[in-house]
């Protein structure tokens, strides 16, 4: 266990017993210059004890349901100048004014915005993949803002919270299901806002009978895109955008061909990495963009740790 040095930066994970909280704490255990503080189990719902803890640390990570996260932010607000920096891992503040979106590779300068921020909203797992695929192509003018985009995705059941995890592990649910068919999934607002699109995309999520891992895909008709690009053109734009990233890799065409036309959602499990693929068929003028990531890694805890390091200048 790392020693508690007086000069260490301090973090409190509010909701550390949940899936994301546990993953974040595990990753932070090996970060030098950081001390993670915990509240007594009996005090974890006591607003006075939580507020005292908040006042004693440099940064708080909220791993709570949306309403509870809003309440926690209200507690921090009461501290005034003694309020810590906050990373919210819920979806409560992802499009809120005054919060910086915590996807540091999203666009040029986003990492610096996070580093300078007092409040950062950690991205959702599905939007992380979708925005990585779409934003560079929108910024390059290949996908126009009004383009009608459809995003399809499948995730492991760990992304659904405690109830879904218990149901799957007890064998009480079907092996695969599509959901969010009201077309109003809670991740849509951030996907829409930060992809750069001007027309609301259609988002079709699904869950499979595997614990973690994720594939996010976007099908495209190449002749409907600006300049009628080839799939190699799309790959080139993505490669340039992420060329300096240590965690996001665009898989080149030769390696794409070696997949045999099949991708497992679980290949990056246990890592904080993301892979982007461009599958194309020139004969039919079609392409499919795919992002692969661990929904608990780059899609949750991994992104939170990136943001913690940036906000506390630990890189």
Contact of 114 with 122, CB cutoff 8 Å: no
Q: What are residue 286's DSSP bridge partners?
A: 221, 281
Q: Token pair 């994970």 is at which residue?
A: 13
What does R_g of the chain's alpha carbons equal in angstroms? 20
Cβ neighbours, 10 Å, residue 202: 12
Contact of 248 with 123, CB cutoff 8 Å: no
Cβ neighbours, 10 Å, residue 29: 11
Residues with catalytic roles: 125
Residue-wise burial string across 278-300, b where 16 or more C-beta atoms lie within 10 A, e elsewhere: bbbeeeebebebbbbbbbbbbbb
Question: CA distances (Å), 154 to each of 3, 131, 242, 252, in order?
Answer: 41, 16, 23, 23
Q: Is the dihedral of CA 264, 265, 269, 273 positive or negative?
A: positive
Q: Whose CA is closest to 137, among 224, 233, 221?
A: 233
Contact of 60 with 14, CB cutoff 8 Å: yes
């Amino acid at each position: 266990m790392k020693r508690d040095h007086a000069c260490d930066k301090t973090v409190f994970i509010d909701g550390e017993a949940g899936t994301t909280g546990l993953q974040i704490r595990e990753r932070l255990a090996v970060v030098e210059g950081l001390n993670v503080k915990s509240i007594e189990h009996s005090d974890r719902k006591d607003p006075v004890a939580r507020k005292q803890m908040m006042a004693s640390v440099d940064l708080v990570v909220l791993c709570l349901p949306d309403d509870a996260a809003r309440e926690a932010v209200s507690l921090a607000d009461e501290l005034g100048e003694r309020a810590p920096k906050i990373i919210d891992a819920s979806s409560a503040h992802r499009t809120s004014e005054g919060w910086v979106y915590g996807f540091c590779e999203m666009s040029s300068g986003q990492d610096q915005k996070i580093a300078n921020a007092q409040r950062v909203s950690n991205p959702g797992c599905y939007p992380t993949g979708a925005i990585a695929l779409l934003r560079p192509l929108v910024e390059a003018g290949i996908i126009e803002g009004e383009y009608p985009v459809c995003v399809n995705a499948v995730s492991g059941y760990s992304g659904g919270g405690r109830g879904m995890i218990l149901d799957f592990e007890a064998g009480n649910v079907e092996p695969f299901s599509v959901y969010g068919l009201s077309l109003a999934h809670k991740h849509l607002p951030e996907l829409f806002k930060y992809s750069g699109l001007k027309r609301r995309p259609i988002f079709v999520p699904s869950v499979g009978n595997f614990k973690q891992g994720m594939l996010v895909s976007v099908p495209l008709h190449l002749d409907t895109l600006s300049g009628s690009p080839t799939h190699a053109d799309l790959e080139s734009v993505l490669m340039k955008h992420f060329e300096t990233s240590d965690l996001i890799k665009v898989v080149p065409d030769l390696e794409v061909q070696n997949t045999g036309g099949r991708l497992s959602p679980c290949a990056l499990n246990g890592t904080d990495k993301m892979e982007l693929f461009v599958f194309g068929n020139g004969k039919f003028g079609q392409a499919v963009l795919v992002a692969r990531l661990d929904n608990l890694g780059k899609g949750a805890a991994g992104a939170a740790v990136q943001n913690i390091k940036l906000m506390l200048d630990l890189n």
